[in-house]
Chain A
Amino acid sequence: MKKNSISCWNCGNNVKNFFFCEHCKKIQKPIEHDPFQLFSLPYEFNIDIEKLEADFFNLQHKLHPDKFINANENEKLFSGIHSGNLNQSYHLLVDPISRAGILLKILINYDLKEKTVNDKILLFEIMELEEEKENLQQKKDALIFYKKIMGLIDDEIKTINNKFKEENYLEAAKIHTKLTYLKKIKNDFKKVEIEL
């Protein structure tokens, strides 16, 4: 990630790199960013997960607090923040549903948390699924239901990918809302079903 010129806390030279000073090689003070910027990714839904993982490990190799045991307190602090940002950003990007959410926030300032859902058709669909989940009796049915939810999630992810490609963000936001519900059903279901 590139940033507008800021001077290095250590040597005072202008720094363009986000993580390290080009001159004295010292770790830099973290600045505001979004997960896409952190990994130098374009604002697109479709990303190369393998490359993301490789970049993540590569950056952690350089920034993780384990690599700064002998450094001064400033550097230790910066390393902890950078490393934490990487962890959080990586996990947000790996999950397609959270990735879509971040993208919508960046592109059209859409935040599901601040909205009430008025889409009656969607709410009806979700209520039906919830009811179906409540009425599950047998392990066999539970498995079928789980597969159904997973199938729905997969389908919607394909659709949302197309909507992002078409730059139809409002439609993408609608699908994202649905995906968020589906994910919640899936997680609730898992919590209840796991036999400890």
Chain B
Amino acid sequence: MSLMQITEPNKKTNHVDDHTAIGIDFGTTNCVCTFFKNGVYNIITDEYKKKLIPSVVAFRGDNFFVGNQVLLNKDIPKENYIFSIKRHLTRDQSKKIIKISNDIILSPLEVSSIIFEYIKKLINEDLKEKTNKCVITVPAYFDELSRVAVKKAAINTGFDVLRLINEPTAAALAYGLEKKVKGNYFVYDLGGGTFDISLLKLSDGIFKVLRTGGNVNLGGDDIDLAIAKNICKKLLNTEFEQLTSKQKAELIMSSKKSKENYNNDHSSNLKIDFFENVNEIQVSNELIEESANDIIDTTIRISKSVLNESELNLSKIDGFILVGGSTKLDYLKKRLKESFEVKFFSDINPEIIVAQGAASHAHALLNGSENLLLDVTPLSLGIETAGGLMEKIIDRNSTIPITKEQEFTTFENGQTAIKINILQGEREICKYNRSLGEFVLSGIEPKPAGIPRIKVRFSVDSDGILDVSAYDENSGKKHIIEVQPVKQLNSNEVIEMIKDSVNNSKMDLEERSVLEAVIEGQRCLNELNYLNDEIITLCSKEEQKKIFVAIGDLKLKIKEKKKYEIKKLIDKLNLLTQNFAQKRIENSIGSGLVGQDLDNL
């Protein structure tokens, strides 16, 4: 093929003048920043020479502190810590919900910006070279609004975000490049607050994501919490919920420590000086295992369903790459190995591999590269159609970028405007999916129902961010809208979305078929209503009577939502009006001829 020989216009052959761009892993628990220069990866360290920058912010007076400034400062009370802000980004990004003092209330987006600001300062000090270009990683399962929020938080602090890439994809990139592996690999990424599982095909410089799944509200933090609850129940004989918020915070920190010690001892002694009459407790390995089981089981279920949907057998999987701080737990590895009998890889530090992948991609973007990264969109995108059904336009696991168009039409005669509600999720019924935003396409020429052709175009770019536009084919009217994080999110909805979708798809299908019958019936009624006068002129009295009785029945059955009866009545009406339709065609040819000059015929 001749076009194959044309060299890519932007590829540089000269790598001497490397431009530097930073890979940022903006994690729930820790942030890691890495850059690739002169063939080596460098990790940015903070003023304490630490590579992991805790994603913690705290205020004292008007001053804010970030990362180790907070954790190493004993003067800041623990209850003032703002932890795991990334979890809130999936929910109420722009909502002022974090109360710092009586005067200061911040949104999760603003708190994220504070962390980015700090990171930027560290980068400038460490690099001694001005760059604001970066690649930021996000959980693969992050939805549209969360992606926009992360990008916004970074841009607000002056970063030039070259690309958002998915965390497991970044890990696979780092792994594939360093170990030169080929084949089908699972990337199992369990961080502090999110879980992602991606299945990738790796071949000569190509990283193609086949499928992805996950849960944006599941992570090591949940294991810590489960341990804390079990400690309360089994060792302290109390309810976790009854502790003060200070005790809760202390106990969760201690639980985290006991989890980290799991790998070394059979049981660990835990000092707790915040609980009356108890100084030290012994946390057994069994307690930790028991606490972790639920979370591990969930991740295994999600992984298996991703495998199942991929139509690949376990025998076609070459390995499992473990990523994320929470995969350091030996018990988790043991459980995974029991469930998936394949090779496991965790020989690149799971806490820094994601940032390393981001750094290498950042370098590739700026300086050209032989590698190609093809990612997918995690959740289906579509719009609401008549009757509250979701019409999917882009299916989940579609390779991005992708643009798809779908034609829609009006439902009522003479309708001049259509409200378009953009949805993300897997369920058939709209209200169970999440609405990303609404817009109105107005100025449609009034026509009988079903005649106008409204094209809705969905484009998901390489950052996984959606752009929607719609236009009326007849009038050429075009509306372009950008989906913004304005609507509040409920992250619990996201988490449960696919799970629900599977559990409920049977119910949805039933509900959908009823709704479809109702819509079909309504459309039939609209048409007949539109033709009412003609029916009276063209049909015999007897025909008219039969038709109008059937119309009455149909109205009733639509009200009762009896789908089989509705279908039967539509068929019956089709049959009853056959004669009428024939007459109408003859008539319209006739009336078309009336008054026409013979020469024009």
Contact = CB atoms under 8 A, between A and B. Distances in A.
- A is bound by B: yes
Interface of A: 1, 17-20, 22, 25-27, 40, 55, 57-62, 64-71, 80-81, 83-85, 87-88, 90-91, 188, 190-192, 194-196
B462 A188 contact: no
Q: Summarize A's interface: helix, strand, loop or mixed.
A: helix
Given A17-B2, A58-B4, A27 B498 contact: no
Contacts of A87: 374, 398-402
A69 B9 CA distance: 12
B7 A196 contact: no
Contacts of A57: 206, 372
Contact of A194 (B3, B163, B308, B462): B308
B499 interface: yes
A60 B499 CA distance: 33
B9 A25 contact: yes
Interface of B: 1-4, 6-11, 162-163, 206, 301-302, 304-305, 308-309, 361, 364-366, 368, 372-374, 398-404, 459, 461-462, 498-499, 501-503, 505-506, 509
Contacts of B4: 55, 58
Contacts of B305: 194-196
Given A20-B9, A67-B8, A192-B506, A88 B3 contact: no
A57 B370 CA distance: 11
B516 to A, nearest CB: 14
**Pairs of residues from A and B, 10 with the lowest C-beta to C-beta distance, nearest first:** A87-B399, A84-B403, A84-B401, A191-B505, A69-B365, A65-B462, A62-B8, A196-B499, A25-B9, A20-B6
23 contacts: A1-B3, A17-B2, A19-B3, A26-B9, A57-B372, A60-B372, A61-B8, A65-B461, A65-B462, A66-B163, A66-B361, A66-B364, A66-B372, A66-B462, A69-B366, A80-B401, A80-B461, A87-B402, A88-B404, A195-B301, A195-B304, A196-B498, A196-B502
A64 B364 CA distance: 13
A40 B11 contact: no
B512 to A, nearest CB: 11
A29 B501 CA distance: 40
Contacts of B10: 67-71
A17 B3 contact: yes
A6 B162 CA distance: 32
Contacts of B372: 57, 60-61, 64, 66
Contacts of B506: 192
A189 to B, nearest CB: 10
A69 B309 contact: no
Contacts of A83: 401, 462
A59 to B, nearest CB: 8
A99 B309 CA distance: 20
Residue from the set A22, A67, A196 with the largest chain B CB neighbour count within 10 Å: A196
B544 to A, nearest CB: 27
Contacts of B462: 64-66, 80, 83
A190 to B, nearest CB: 7
Given A57-B372, A66-B373, A196 B461 contact: no
A117 B509 CA distance: 21
A17 B6 contact: yes
Given A66-B365, A88-B402, A194 B1 contact: no
A193 to B, nearest CB: 8
A40 B459 CA distance: 25
Contacts of A22: 6
Contacts of A191: 501-502, 505
Nearest to B4: A58
A27 B402 contact: no
Contacts of B2: 17
A87 B399 CA distance: 6
Nearest to A16: B2
Nearest to B302: A196
Contacts of A19: 3, 6
B502 A192 contact: yes
A61 B509 CA distance: 41
A61 B3 CA distance: 12
B298 to A, nearest CB: 9
A26 B7 CA distance: 10
A80 B499 CA distance: 32
Contacts of A195: 301, 304-305
Given A70-B10, A80-B401, A88-B403, A40 B1 contact: yes
Contacts of A58: 4
A59 B5 CA distance: 11
A70 B505 CA distance: 45
Nearest to A188: B509
A59 B3 CA distance: 9
A62 B309 CA distance: 30
B502 A60 contact: no
A135 to B, nearest CB: 13
A25 B509 CA distance: 51
Contacts of A40: 1
A65 B401 contact: yes
A40 B4 CA distance: 12
Contacts of A80: 401, 459, 461-462
A17 B9 CA distance: 15
A67 to B, nearest CB: 6
Which of B7, B162, B206, B374 is the most central at the interface, judged by chain A CB atoms within 10 Å of its CB?
B374
A196 B402 contact: no
B36 to A, nearest CB: 15
A196 B401 contact: no
A27 B9 contact: yes
Contacts of B373: 66
